[in-house]
Structures are given as structure tokens and as C-alpha cells.
């Protein structure tokens, strides 16, 4: 359990804090925000990140990665010959 696990989902975090939470640099978090990859809110002229939105984004990314891997697996299996399928047991 980390200090971040106890934070409420509405808590606003800085890029440095999100970086610590995700074990990436604050620069990476800022780049993700510039690319609209990670959710953020503007507080005046400063970007802040809601913990709950970061958690939801992580879950979506984890699920999307799983789906992409399964799609790639299915595409690869589709290219196998019948003999290769029998050999692999698929």
C-alpha cells in the first residue's frame, strides 16, 4: 500500500505526484498531457490530475492492451496452415 492508495478519487495531483504514483518522470506525465493521452483538468493556467481519473485511465489502458494482444494473437493464428494448427494444438 502506498500513500496514493489512501487519497480520495477527487484529489488533484501535480505532474510530479502522478509521476511518483506511476513510477515515471514528471516530464513523461506532462508529455502525455500535451498529447491528450492522460486525463487532466486546468486550474487556472496549471494542469492538475484527478487521482480517480488517473486510476480509471490506467484501467482502460490495461484493458486496451489486453484486447490488442488478443487481436494480434487471433490475427497470427489466422495465418497458420491447418497442419501448423494441429502441431500447435490450436
43, 7 contact by CB (below 8 A)? no
The pTM assigned to this predicted structure is: 0.68
Phi, psi of 50 (to 5 degrees): -75, 130
Low-confidence ranges of the chain (pLDDT < 70): 1, 65-72, 90
Question: Which residues face 47 on adjacent strands?
Answer: 42
In whole angstroms, give the CA distance from residue 51 to residue 74. Answer: 35
Which tens digit of pLDDT belongs to each residue from 36-58? 999 999 999 999 999 999 999 99
- The phi, psi pair for 49, rounded to 5°, reads -125, 120
- Which SS3 state, helix, strand or coil, does residue 46 take? strand
Domains of the chain: 3-79 (1.10.10)
Amino acid at each position: 500500500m502506498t500513500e496514493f492508495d489512501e487519497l480520495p478519487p477527487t484529489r488533484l495531483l501535480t505532474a510530479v505526484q502522478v509521476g511518483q504514483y506511476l513510477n515515471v518522470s514528471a516530464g513523461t506525465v506532462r508529455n502525455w498531457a500535451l498529447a491528450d493521452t492522460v486525463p487532466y483538468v486546468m486550474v487556472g493556467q496549471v494542469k492538475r490530475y484527478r487521482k480517480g481519473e488517473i486510476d480509471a485511465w490506467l484501467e482502460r489502458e490495461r484493458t486496451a492492451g489486453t484486447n490488442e494482444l488478443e487481436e494480434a494473437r487471433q490475427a497470427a493464428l489466422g495465418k497458420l496452415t491447418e497442419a501448423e494448427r494441429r502441431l500447435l494444438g490450436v
